[in-house]
Amino acid sequence: MAHFGDLLHRLTESVATRDPGQPLSARMCAAYRDLAGAGAAALTVDYARANRVTLCTTSEVARRLEDLQDVLGEGPGHSAARSGQIEVCAVPGSSSSRWSIFVEASQDVVDAATIHAVPMHPEREVLGVITLYDDRSDHRRLTLGRDQLQFLANVVGAALIGEAGDTASFNSGPWASRAQVHQATGMVVAQLHISPDDALAVLRAHAYGQQATLSEIAAAVVERRLTFTPH
């Protein structure tokens, strides 16, 4: 097992050699993926909260599976955010899986995969989750153990605390799409006279039913291409 100091050096070196024009979150996410030996990764902050934001995905499959967890409100990422522990999910899986709905829906995205959700908690509270995605068909195994994965995730979380709290970024990039979800939720509240939690559930249901992302449905509501009226 590599010493944690060596891992920190390798992470720093990997981030430093990437395009400085990319956001720090994107460089950290890609470096973490490479050090872990995974096929793809996603980095999401405030995972189980209303202001959840995915700052980076390294592939289309990672993006779609991360969006799916957002829409369904379940999956290993949600569990990792709540438990503060690494969660592992296999696709396909058994009907008794804790994430049976997510596992079944995931098979529309990927035939087979192993998913590792690693919480970032540089302090007591979980800041977010790094999710690693791997196609199992090539029998790839992660090159880092659980302790190493957790150590590096905490390092990444500590590095991103400033970026995650930078409200100046809220009007651009991934923050802007989440702000639009909040706006759409408020519009559904006004249209249907329901609670914000119920309004968000309505948006998620439409996203799932239309095989769209939550951001896409929110945009349709904000642009008034999709409206709701009480029966």
Q: What is the pLDDT of residue 90?
A: 92
Residues 6+ apart with CB under 8 A from 162: none
Q: What is the pLDDT of residue 105?
A: 94
- pTM value? 0.77
Q: What is the pLDDT of residue 76?
A: 96
Residues of the chain with pLDDT under 70: 1-2, 95, 136-140, 162-178, 208-209, 230-231
Q: What is the pLDDT of residue 164?
A: 52
Q: What is the pLDDT of residue 1?
A: 43
Q: What is the pLDDT of residue 196?
A: 84
Q: Looking at the domain 4-165, which fold is it?
A: Beta-Lactamase (3.30.450)
52-57: long-range contacts, CB 8 A cutoff, minimum separation 24: 52/178, 53/164, 53/174, 53/175, 53/178, 54/174, 55/23, 55/25, 55/26, 55/29, 55/160, 55/163, 55/164, 55/173, 55/174, 56/23, 56/25, 56/26, 56/28, 56/29, 56/30, 57/29
What does the domain layout of the chain look like in residue ranges? 4-165, 169-222
For the domain spanning 169-222, the CATH number is 1.10.10
